[in-house]
């Protein structure tokens, strides 16, 4: 299997405060990989490091064989990483349609790329909202839009930070089913969420982060077999 993303021994700071302490993780092609951990452990910081939003001070991040740590966010995105950020961060002053189109592109030169039509068929709840401004959407619709917006860049690796946070159960179920579908199409995904049960069903591999370091990694079955882990690191 081919390596899509390799985070190696990364150290990241906000100003003087160090958040990541030599963090490493890997995503293989076609895998769904999760990053688990309690609040404030550095999951979003890991995402920001990968995306170049907060460039790591030490360590290396590779996308395929290419070194991407040190590149500006737009170049990292252009190489084929699509971000569904924490808090969704829809453009509030753009319509749904514009949110989807503004940053669209076929970054990884896919043969059968995502376009407006395909994204709307995949996320039908957006169809009736195309002319609405981003800030007029419900939380669930915003998350669908954030997913659609990232897919419109045709990423090789999709990163979702807090995929279902603050959403109603029905909407969550919808999102899990969409992600499942993406996985069957071979989409590589790095996934952050607190809904352990759903994650275990969906993902191939899990990383547990504690105070800026990976303290455990393994498959869903291995995680299932160690209830102590959940109590200790995930607070469940």
Partner 1 sequence: MDWNLLLTQFLNGLQLGLLLFLLASGLTLIFGIMDFINLAHGSFYMVGAYFCATLTLLTGSFVLALLMSVAGVFVVGLVIEASIVRRLYQHDHLDQVLVTFGLILCFDTLVHLIWGPEGMAIPLPRLLDGQITVGSLVFPTYRVIIIVSGLLVAIGLYVLVMKTRLGMLIRAGASNRVMVSALGVNINRLFMIVFALGAALAGLSGLLIAPITEASIGMGNEIIILAFVVVIVGGIGSIKGAFFSAVLIGLIDTMGRSYLDDFLKLFMSIQNAETAAPALSAMLIYILMAVILAVRPQGLFPPAGAR
Q: Which residue number has the CB closest to Mg ion? A: 44
Q: From partner 1, Mg ion, ligand ATP, none, which one binds at residue 73 (CB under 5 to 8 Å depending on kind)?
A: partner 1
Q: From ligand ATP, Mg ion, partner 1, none, which one binds at residue 234 (CB under 5 to 8 Å depending on kind)?
A: none
Contact with Mg ion (CB under 5 A) among 31, 44, 143, 187: 44
Contact with partner 1 (CB under 8 A) among 85, 140, 148, 212: 85
- Distance separating alpha carbons of residues 172 and 143, to the nearest angstrom: 10
Q: Of 37 and 80, which CB lies nearer to ligand ATP in the complex structure?
A: 37
Chain CA centroid to CA 172, Å = 15
- Distance separating alpha carbons of residues 155 and 158, to the nearest angstrom: 6
Q: Is 31 among the residues that bind Mg ion (CB under 5 A)? A: no
Q: Is 115 among the residues that bind partner 1 (CB under 8 A)? A: no
Q: Of 26 and 89, which CB lies nearer to partner 1 in the complex structure?
A: 89
**Closest C-alpha to 160, from 71, 66, 81:** 81
DSSP-based three-state secondary structure for 4:
strand
Q: Which stretch binds ligand ATP (CB under 6 A): 25-33, 35-43, 129-137, 197-205?
A: 35-43
Q: Is 98 among the residues that bind partner 1 (CB under 8 A)? A: yes
* H helix runs in 52-168, sequence order: 73-80, 96-102, 116-122, 139-151
Contact with partner 1 (CB under 8 A) among 13, 21, 91, 122: 91
Contact with ligand ATP (CB under 6 A) among 19, 51, 182, 191: 19
Q: Residue 158 forms beta bridges with which residues? A: 82, 189
**Closest C-alpha to 195, from 180, 209, 181, 176:** 176
- Distance separating alpha carbons of residues 88 and 167, to the nearest angstrom: 12
Q: Of 86 and 115, which CB lies nearer to ligand ATP in the complex structure?
A: 86
**Closest C-alpha to 70, from 82, 83, 55, 48:** 55
Contact with partner 1 (CB under 8 A) among 89, 108, 125, 195: 89
CA dihedral (119, 193, 89, 84) in degrees, to 10, reads -40
Q: Is 41 among the residues that bind ligand ATP (CB under 6 A)? A: yes
The backbone torsions φ and ψ at residue 116, rounded to the nearest 5 degrees and listed phi first, read -55, -45
Q: Which stretch binds partner 1 (CB under 8 A): 30-38, 89-97, 195-203, 221-229?
A: 89-97
Q: Which helix (H) or strand (E) holds 228?
A: helix 227-229
- Distance separating alpha carbons of residues 143 and 161, to the nearest angstrom: 11
Q: Give the interface with partner 1 as residue ranges (CB under 8 A).
A: 51, 53, 72-74, 77-78, 82-83, 85, 89, 91-94, 98-99, 101-103, 105, 107, 133-135, 149-150, 153
Q: Give the interface with ligand ATP as residue ranges (CB under 6 A).
A: 14, 17, 19, 37, 39-45, 86
């Amino acid at each position: 299997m081919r390596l899509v993303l390799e985070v190696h021994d990364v150290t990241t700071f906000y100003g003087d405060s160090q958040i990541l302490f030599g963090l490493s993780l890997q995503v293989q092609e076609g895998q769904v990989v999760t990053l688990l951990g309690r609040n404030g452990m550095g999951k979003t910081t890991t995402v920001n490091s990968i995306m170049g939003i907060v460039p790591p001070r030490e360590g290396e991040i590779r996308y395929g064989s290419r070194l991407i740590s040190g590149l500006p966010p737009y170049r990292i995105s252009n190489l084929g990483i699509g971000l569904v950020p924490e808090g969704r961060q829809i453009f509030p002053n753009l319509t749904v349609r514009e949110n989807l189109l503004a940053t669209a592109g076929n970054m990884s030169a896919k043969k059968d790329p995502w376009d407006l039509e395909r994204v709307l068929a995949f996320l039908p709840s957006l169809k009736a909202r195309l002319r609405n401004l981003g800030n007029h959407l419900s939380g669930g619709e915003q998350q669908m839009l954030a997913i659609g917006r990232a897919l419109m860049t045709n990423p090789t690796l999709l990163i979702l930070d807090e995929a279902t946070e603050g959403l109603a159960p029905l909407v969550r179920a919808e999102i899990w089913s969409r992600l499942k579908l993406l996985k069957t199409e071979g989409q590589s995904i790095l996934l952050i969420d607190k809904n352990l049960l759903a994650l275990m069903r969906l993902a191939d591999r899990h990383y547990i982060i504690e105070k800026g370091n990976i303290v455990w990694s393994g498959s869903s079955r291995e995680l299932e077999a160690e209830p102590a882990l959940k109590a200790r690191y995930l607070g469940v």
